[in-house]
Amino acid sequence: MKYVENVRAVLRFSWSVRLMVLAAILSGLSAFFDLVDARMLGLHPLVFAGIASLVSALGVFARVIRQVAVSGVVRRFCSDESGAMRVRKRTLAASVVAVAIASASFVGQWEGLRTQAYQDVIGVWTVCYGETKGVSRGDSYTKAQCDAMLDEELRSYAVGLGKCLKAPLPEGAAVAFLSWSYNVGTGAACRSTAVRKANAGDLFGACDELLRWNRAGGRVINGLVNRRKSEHSLCTGSLIAAGLSRPVGK
């Protein structure tokens, strides 16, 4: 006789062993009720004998199927977001790091990476992914430094925006609002109609407001028009994926 290689795992986690143990317990109870009056509980010993037989039969079936830990199934089910109704919602204040990480690639593609300082469309010295604070002519950074700078700034912006934007949002909407805030500034974002509508529960209306922020220096900028369309699409798309629908007439 030779034990299977994973004997401990089989004894601890396999359904067949669990069912066999349960069958033994039920069989013992049946014998016990033969010695005393099972009817004191309103049950008949034959009922326990039948259950024990059924559990024993299931034990044989469970022995030949692939063993799956219940905890693993539950964990995978809870983390699975393939179904629209299980899209997580989060506030920016409650998940600064997660939203910042999720936003990095989206923001980066719109800001563009420039490791040498340059002047933007309205003449402000800028570097890396749209960073303007403390930037001067001749400044230069590596990509790694720019990536770290973007991560730090997005976390900071998420904290700032989270102080005024309290509505729970699907991740896509949170990314869209953070991208917009990073572009226009926390102060302007927090004073905006977009944030007011979001906090009032009009999330689709809040997403629509993003489209209005397409100007720089008093004129419409094609790059901002395209960016706002992308943010708007991400925002509304995540709401729909979360099972929300636009109010009739809006």
d(C-alpha 151, C-alpha 96), whole Å: 11
Q: In this structure, what are the phi and psi dihedrals at residue 248, rounded to the nearest 5 degrees?
A: -60, 135
Alpha helices in 163-221 (DSSP H): 171-184, 186-190, 193-199, 203-209
| DSSP 8-state secondary structure symbol assigned to residue 246 | P
Is 37 one of the catalytic residues? no
Of the candidates 81, 120, 171, 208, the residue annotated as catalytic is 120
Q: Which long-range contacts (CB under 8 A, 24 or more apart) does 195-201 make?
A: 195/161, 195/164, 195/165, 198/165, 198/167, 198/169, 199/164, 199/165, 199/166, 199/167, 201/167
Of the candidates 34, 111, 152, 202, the residue annotated as catalytic is 111
- Counting every residue written for the chain, the total comes to 250
Longest dimension (CA), the chain: 95
Q: In this structure, what are the phi and psi dihedrals at residue 126, rounded to the nearest 5 degrees?
A: -140, 155
Is 171 one of the catalytic residues? no
Catalytic residue numbers read: 111, 120
